[in-house]
Chains A and B, each alone.
Chain A
Amino acid sequence: MSTTDKDSASWPAPEQPSGADKTPADKGAVSKAAGGDGVTAPKSASQHGLMMRLVLTFSSMKLAVVLLVVLGLLTWLGTLAQIDGGLWATQKQYFESWGLIAELPLSWWGNEIPSAEDQWVIKIPLPGAYPVMLLLFLNLLVGGMVRLKWRAKNVGILITHIGIALLLVAGFVKMEYSYSGGLALYETPTSGPEVANRQYESSTFVSFHDYELALIKDAGDTVEERVIPESKLLGAIDDTVTLTGEGLPFELQLHHYLVNCRPLPKGPMVRATTPVLDEPGGPGIYLQPMKTNPQREHNRTGVYVRVMVRGQQHAEGIVWGPDNLPIAVARFPFVFEVDGTRWAVDLRKVMYELPFKMRLSKFVKRDHPGTLTPADFRSWVSVEDGGSEREVQIYMNTPLRKDGYVAYQTNWGPQQPGMDGRPLGPPWYSVFEVAANPSDQWPMWSCWVIGLGLFVHMSMKLSRFLNSSTRANMTA
């Protein structure tokens, strides 16, 4: 019996006759494999033009194996890297990149991570997940679907491959077109007045990670806003970024962009490494750089802003990101005046608009009796949408899906313990994660497709084997 013959039909070399899968039985472990993947055979390659050779190479099953192994290796190293690097940074480096130098700290086995200089690290250059998955997708399309022999025998494989392709597309769509953020609402009081700075209803949600710089113009009754995404600001980490705009009577120079920092008054004993700005009647204020937290949402980003009018420094200020709190809190934008008009610069988390409004009517948390472990926490949310209003429950594993957005119950508060060790609420606030993802349900469909395909293929193989002479001989 050959271990290679049974499946070669799934990916034959084009020049081989259709009977290629009936490879003669090998004569033991020593004979050469007569695999179905003729692509790598030098003869077949030389017979075709360059284009064809490329197609053959990129659709070869051996390339698939290599890519799968590389992806596995990447996943493994990317898992271990999270011990030190945190999820977000690792994800960027390993899984959302084109290439990287992966590190295998040899201390990973014990979780005892010594200081960086004591670590004995193996460095492995690897392609990032982008090129691997891209190639895998092409390989799957051409090799696993187009070049696959379309026969009844392979129907399961084809279905499976379609499902995997759908899954990869879903992943791509999610990566490219989805965005998400948080929305926190206080329980609406059933009696009594609403408290001023508490948010009871909202139709905006705020990104967990992504910052933007907003330039706001005081236009009397209204404000005009211009927004610059975080990616354009990163140059200010170790240089100066100049922002100009049509119709602006000034330009903004950004410098000392700090990924994590705290705004502090300059104390007498403090030696600031960043510029200290004058503060009327105060000792001066500056942004104190902090160690970057691997949990990215815990970083508070800040930047220095210089306003230049006609080449002259007009004003200087600092702006910093909000606290990681779900409550609407007072912001401290940098306000300045140019030619009698008031302007403000603010560094804030990116905000997204929902096409509907959510109001939290009730929040209930039930603990397992005698413990502080929540057994269930759920929100009753009234969703306002074009005049009509309906109430929905949002709780663990049961999000609200509406108009292409999905709102999940993720957290609640306040959770800080009071004097008796129990949380301070009620009143409670409830935190939702809101995500917009066009491919929201695609993975589930792909799951059914793949499951079906594998089931069909494996059952056919099993039934063939049960009736085969191989089995008769093996069990004799």
Chain B
Amino acid sequence: MAEAEFEPRIIAFLCNWCTYTGADLAGTSRIQYPPNVRIIRLMCSGGLDPVYVSKALLEGADGVLIGGCHPGDCHYQSGNYKARRRVAILQSILEQMGLDQERVWLRWISASEGQYFADTVSEMVAALKAKGPNPLRGVGAI
């Protein structure tokens, strides 16, 4: 029997006001997208500490999606700009420490962009399938 195709596991941290609502819209609009994403709702992308992104990657998540409001649209004025700096710092650190920073995606997806959310998940699943599993997944000695 052929081996089952690799199905990436994505942990998504989505802000309550935009991307989470966008994901909800994708659902209520019955837009199909791959079931590879596990969503964690935050009040704001600016409230996401990089420790949780690192934790997901070290524990073997194949990708982490961070979703926030478009620049200028943050419900709390500036949380997404702060998130953007943190992601820039995180990606630089991951790269320097020999980890794959391309497994971390930041996307601005508004509450009205259900289709864009579904497309983003599809694109991310395709990109992660091309990369293969997170090499940390099977490592017990972290």
Q: Do A and B bind each other?
A: no
